[in-house]
Amino acid sequence: MINLIFRLFLTFNATSLILVVYLVKTQKVINVLWWRLADLPHFVSYSLYFLIPVLLTFLSLLISKWLANDSIEKENGVSAIKEIEQANNAYLPSYLGYFFVALSVPYCDTLIFVFAILFLFTFLSQTLYFNPLFLIFGYHFYYLTTATNIKIFLITRKELKDPSKLNFPKLKRINDFTFIDKEK
């Protein structure tokens, strides 16, 4: 159950920046919502909008410690990983697409519909848990190919270069092909 909640949370965090971009584009500010804050400059509202996904991403990193444990460990001194591919740049075009969608959507109800579709597809894809806000917390994204030719998506703070030296004794399983490394 914690895994399902965590995956829903990760999906929301991964897609929530579309909402932030839309709110900024339409110039929705907090001072419109609460009359006592009428004198705040707009950038305060925009900063708070951005801060909410950042805080939710931080919370998801804290919650990840309750996910199921897993590992990819060396066997007989040989790494179980045969290939490393950095995934940071692979997902950036998707996020630019999200931003362009948010900038071009004219109405709030249209945005809600588009956001729901993106959320659903991201959740069902089970591999698209790339969240650019993880980069703020020092995480990187990699595709690892195991010795048995299984490709997994890894979220880690480590900078991976040499597959022969890799060992991950403290992974947390998000799904069958996505893991988060809790070791520094």
Give the whole-angstrom CA distance, residue 61 versus residue 181: 10
H-type alpha helices, the chain: 2-15, 17-25, 30-33, 42-63, 92-104, 108-125
Contacts of 97 (CB under 8 A, 6+ apart): none
Answer whether 160's CB lies under 8 Å from 142's CB: yes
Alpha-carbon span 65 to 106, nearest angstrom: 40
Q: Parallel, antiparallel, or unpaired: how do β-strands 168-175 and 151-156 relate?
A: unpaired
Amino acid at position 6, single letter: F
- Write out pLDDT tens, residues 29-38: 876 555 666 6
**Global pTM value:** 0.87
Distances (CA, A) of 2 to 8, 64, 102, 110, 151: 10, 9, 31, 31, 24
Domain layout of the chain by residue ranges: 2-181
Mean pLDDT, rounded, of the chain: 87
**Tens-digit pLDDT string for the chain (184 aa):** 788 888 888 899 989 999 999 999 999 887 655 566 667 788 888 999 999 999 999 999 999 989 999 988 777 767 889 999 998 777 778 778 888 889 999 999 999 999 999 999 888 886 667 788 999 999 999 999 988 898 999 999 999 988 988 888 889 998 888 899 988 7
